[in-house]
Structure 1
Amino acid sequence: MDIITKQLKLEEPSDLKYEVHIGDSKSVEYCSIMILKFLGEYGYGSAGNSDAIYMCAIGEAVLEAWEPAGLILDFSELEYEWGDRIENVLFIGKDKYRDIPFPAALIVGEHSKEAIRTLILGVYSDQTIEDIDWVHQDLNSAWAFIENKLAEYDRDKRL
């Protein structure tokens, strides 16, 4: 029997790039916060489906590898106009710890802000991106959001 295979790499479905950074929480001594940054151009509409799949796979892999207590998804250098599957990326880590809260925040940039706003709030919404407490436009405010959530969970004995 001839078995025919082809070698695959996780990076193949997408041209997006990613960076992972991790730092210690100042609010809760034993916790770390991860920044997962995606860079490049997300495919428009269904052309972005493979990008979303790739982003989710990378997200789950880096969470498994480093087990942070909180996650910041950084889309500040991601060009995103439209495509519903990116919504799956926003749920990275939600089921990792199941019984333990896992705070997450999102950083948007000029080339993703409006599309993320309409994805979350709806195309006809009058609300702004600032009305979504877990969405931020800079790293400092996203980090502070995660720090505050970790401190709250620690104070309530939920970590």
Structure 2
Amino acid sequence: MDIVTKQLKLEELSDLKYEVHIGDSEAVKYCKIMILKFVGEYGYGSGGNSDAIYMCAIGKAVLEAWEPSGLILDFSELTYEWGDQLEDVFYIGEDQYRNIPFPVALIVGEHSEEAIRTLILGVYSDQTTDDIDWVHRDLNSAWTFIEEKLTEYDRNKRL
């Protein structure tokens, strides 16, 4: 019997690059916060589907490997114009610890903010990304958001 296979690698799904950074929470001493940064150009429309699949796979892998208490998705250097499947990436970590809350924040950049705004709020919405509490324009703001959520969860004995 001839068994024919093809070797595959996650990197074949996308040209996007990623970085992972971890830092200690100042608010809740035993918690760590992860920054998962994606850099590059997300494919337009359905051309970005494999990018979203790649981003989700990387996200699940790094959360499994380092088990942070919160996540910041950094899209500050991601170019994104259109493609609904990117929304799947926003849910990375939602089932990380079952009944323990897992805060997620998103950093947008000049080449992603407007398209992400319309993805989340709708094309005809008058709202801005300022109206979405988990979306931020810089790392300090996103980090503070995660710290506040961790503090709230710790205070309510949910961590």
- Is 1:134–2:153 an aligned residue pair? no
Write the distance in 2 (CA, Å) between the matches of 1:43 and 1:8: 20
Write the distance in 2 (CA, Å) between the matches of 1:115 and 1:98: 31
Q: What's the secondary structure of 2:49's corresponding residue?
A: helix
Name the amino acid aligned to 1:30: Y
Q: What's the secondary structure of 1:21's corresponding residue?
A: strand
Aligned residue in 1 for 2:52: 52
Write the distance in 1 (CA, Å) between the matches of 2:153 and 2:62: 23
Aligned residue in 2 for 1:43: 43
How high is the TM-score relative to the length of structure 1? 0.99
- Is 1:13–2:18 an aligned residue pair? no
Deviation at 1:24, TM superposition (A): 0.3
Write the distance in 2 (CA, Å) between the matches of 1:10 and 1:117: 28
More helix by share: 2
Give the root-mean-square deviation of aligned CA atoms.
Answer: 0.4
- Is 1:119–2:119 an aligned residue pair? yes
Deviation at 1:78, TM superposition (A): 0.1
Q: What's the secondary structure of 1:85's corresponding residue?
A: helix
Deviation at 1:6, TM superposition (A): 1.3
**Paired residues, number:** 159
**Ranges in structure 2 where 5+ consecutive residues have no aligned partner:** none
Q: What's the secondary structure of 1:29's corresponding residue?
A: coil
How high is the TM-score relative to the length of structure 2? 0.99
Write the distance in 2 (CA, Å) between the matches of 1:155 and 1:59: 28
- Is 1:22–2:16 an aligned residue pair? no
Q: What's the secondary structure of 1:90's corresponding residue?
A: helix
- Is 1:34–2:44 an aligned residue pair? no
